[in-house]
Structure 1
């Protein structure tokens, strides 16, 4: 026995003797602590994010104003465009009123002595201004970025600059906007600390109130526990005696009601198991009977195997179709890519011709590049062609094509069959629904084909429409948004 075993037993024993009242209070405090801390952290994050947005907006605003001044400003000395960056910067800076945490600086490279600084004559209102830090200004002036963050021991600076393009041979210059975010960050931190203080007070109040409330809630539980101990796990017929009309009586009545529901639930469960066993026993008996009665006649065995395989194939198709419809709810159901619509239409036509002996026609094909999932669209068009084959007889016309619509692309399959009755046009796209006009159809589907077509069309942000065919028949149209990719 190691020395850790007594410690482990001691800890386990102490945890076991912790009352439910203390555990409830402990969990309440943990939940409230996490919630209050999350609120404080989230509030600080929101405030810091808003500060960042404001700073970015100010940087963009100031640089845009200077860029506009460069394009449209005139030198008040001669009324002409500025040719020298120094007067340009001085005139612009003299007209600006920066925020308390903002600096507007003009930097002009000077031959042989670094660079000259142009700034406003107004007093600086930041503790450690950038204008006093020549190393930092040099880093900004020679930086290849137009915006960035400068980390200094004196404090962080967010900056943006606009390079000034002068005549050939002229020394480089730039207009710099520098913002000190320390004040905004301090405000966010102050709010964060204030929320932590309020949370601490709330937790202290919760501790006292929770201790009292937990005791009052658990008092009737302790009284009922003794009586409930007389119940056995196998016998749910016993009930707790109800005395009086206080909370203990109400708790006992509630507990007795729960036992009543449990007893009924167990009875219902037993009944369900019996019914399910009986219902499942019947098809198993039928299948076993047919297999036992199957003789050695090769023709009989072949017919039995064929029937079984047909049923298995049909169930497999239903499962695959249902899985496909379930995937239609996922965001990756379709994977659009640039596709030549004319080539896709021709490929669908070639594949559809193998579905049956019909008078197939490639009516038209749009020569355009669009964004769609070629596999899903081919699947939908082949399904529509299969549907047309099922509603026509050999020799009847089926047309396949694509065409331009009003801001859309339409892919269609038109047959010359009996068409669709008006009462069926609203339901044929629903799962497990078929039209009533089946005209000698030999189809044995489960009514999922058109539902799959509808799901594919909607997955592309489009729709499927049913239109009449000239001369009789039905035309199914996939209407997709035209998104040419050049």
Structure 2
């Protein structure tokens, strides 16, 4: 074999595929209640309900706060008037005479007459339980809604000995708050009654709440329309998934959901597309397995059927027929096994990567190859170092190359085996190779010899070369194993002068590794 023969790579290096643990079995789905309302309506309904509850809560809380503010403002006004009256009593000087007040009536009339009351405020001077004087800010058409005319008796609850402040919701003037300041001048006593009518302010609050309710209703209608549109936008990718799922059939698994953006919906579409990719690969693998099995098993089944139909009663002919049938059944078993290996090559756990000592692996492969045939086996070179690969699959691939070498050589012919590193650093690669002295591989065959059901080369014997035997799947398995490692399978041959078959695997350099020639 010449050393300047071209090397024909059969596969492009691929990234190393790390082993993936099998996915856990899906949990049993719980029975869900049947939903008859479309998802778009449900989303819209929930948005509307949440908006209604929010508006209702805001309205009720706002109403309560504003009414409380009305009561607080009325109390503040009462306390302010009461404080002014107390200061007035403490002074006790009649501004007209610069003398102390001579009577309770004079003090009350003087104080009430000086006050400028605001709207809905009433000041009442009380002596002996009757109205003495009144100052109010009530509109003329509502003059004295409490009938606080002079000489009129004050309601009993406003003169209770232990109650000096209170509120009334059902008075003739509507809701009000009041406070009373009692005082004594000489031997007589009197009181100032301060009344705050809160009906108008409370009515204003109710009008505001009603206006808010109208605005809220309009807002709910607007939000309903927006919710309907938003729900449609949210569910648009889901509808796209639905359409794609409906369009998928057994004969067309190529349709995919368009993915836009990077949000959760896009993630769902991406996951769905990935699922379709897996289903398409699985379907293709199954279809290829069925096609390959039908293609390869048709001939041996025909042979077995024909032999059985011609089975005679002669013992010698019967024995020969059974031998042929058994041979064909053995070949069928091997074909099925090889097809199953190729089908499994599409699974993520086909290759199980682990640390492996290359020297030990090479020696083990050479020892196992000795049992393949009566040949002169020679171990030419051994690479030393540790590489991450699947030792069982690599052994399977190299032994397949060795078995092919046995098929194209005769007893006593020489077959060489070796391993070496090529390159350095992260680009370093491990090569394991098998060299035979057979007839070699024709250039046309070299380009496609690693494909399924392709048989190339010839086997030399005393009667001249004959076509190679086998199913044509062995080198396809070698290629599947190297693809699983992200490597390449190759052949280097000059037709008529033997061939060198090898695998090229990625082996990034992490430790210093040397090669030992033998």
Does the alignment reach a TM-score above 0.5?
A: no
Structure with the larger helix share: 1
**TM-score (norm. length: structure 2):** 0.40
**TM-score (norm. length: structure 1):** 0.43
